[in-house]
Chain A
Amino acid sequence: MAWEERGGKLYYYQSERDETGKVRKRYVGSGEVAELIAHADATIQRVREERREKDREELEHMQNRIFQVLELDEAVEAVMRAHLTCAGFHRHKGEWRRGRKKT
């Protein structure tokens, strides 16, 4: 969305994608009506950005929660692996099995 000056007068254009995906300029108008539309466009844009920001924050918050549990997971895995290895178990294709090796 942009204003363009031609011959000392301001004209308002909107950007939109056509059916091939290319961005095209579309003439909206000039004067008070164009100003109203431009104001509405700016508000829509701001609301969209705020929503994106809120979504991003919420996702980040959830990802942090998951990272915390991943860390715990990691520590538990290490302790479990050490215990089972000590007890003479071994892993075969990701599955723990009874001792094959001498302990």
Chain B
Amino acid sequence: MRFSRFISLLVLVVSCGLLAAGGALARSGRTTAGITVFAGSSMTTVLPQIDPGNTYSFGSSTTLGTQIKNGTPADVLMSANTTVPASLYAAGVVEKPVNFTRNTLAVVVPKSNPAGITSIYDLTKPGVKIDEAASTVPVGSYTVQVLNQMGINAAIQANVVSKETSDANVVAKVALGQVDAGFVYLSDYVIDPTQLTLIKVPAWAQPKITYALAIVTRSPNQAAAQAFINKVLSPAGQAIFVKDGFLPLTAPVPTITKVAPAHAAPGTTVTLTGTNLTGTTSVTIQGVPAKFKVVSATKLTFVVPAKAKTGTITVTNPSGTAKSASFTVG
């Protein structure tokens, strides 16, 4: 599996000329009854695991979007950003886009690491050969965004020796040792780490990389396309994305529907019912943090802290907060 992917990456490098000419690389020649999916090249490995019966064309999300806009037959577009589907939706070319996964930007170096790179800042040293995707494709755009965030774009660009049309091409060149380092998605590393060493891009400079998909408006296979999207968004589909290094969709904001008992003394264990409680990071009563335990997505328990005062209970997860009606302490 890993070796075959490496070979496919070699093929991708050889195919650069085709991509430069504007043609999306059709990875699969399957002619099953499945639908036709145009998808960003970072999903080359993951999508056939979710549904092997479709015909997939992988390439730059930007190029694929242009092709769909120009009338190339496709049923679903899966983009490595939200902007391409949004612009096609505005033009009436696709139905309303849906976010389906997230990713992280990363730096990869060859296993042999001839340039001795241990930090992203090492890439600014003179003589380091860097490969990155062109800024016209999502991964290249994210790369520029990160480097600007870190204030090192000019220094890095001085070391860039090649610009590719996809993250897959960057991975292939790094794996072959043609360059000292390249900017790719974390998922590119996770699905085949044998040839590469990962260098983290700092979390404080990471862009928000959200993938969105949409059904092509003129698709004659609307029902089948929707069924495929349901597979992608299902827990099983999402688990495959996460296994291959993608990030889960951001958890929805929590809600509170019931607190029982409605009043309690310090030290009492209280049960809170609501939704989206799994990723809870804090529970406070009028600002006083409480020890809590998540029981399920719809239930958690907390202990009323010694110094708690009557007031609002606030439940927080990474996406936001939920506030209860006043809770009486005492």
> Do A and B truly interact?
no
Interface residues in chain A, defined as those with a beta carbon under 8 Å from any beta carbon in chain B: none
Interface residues in chain B, defined as those with a beta carbon under 8 Å from any beta carbon in chain A: none
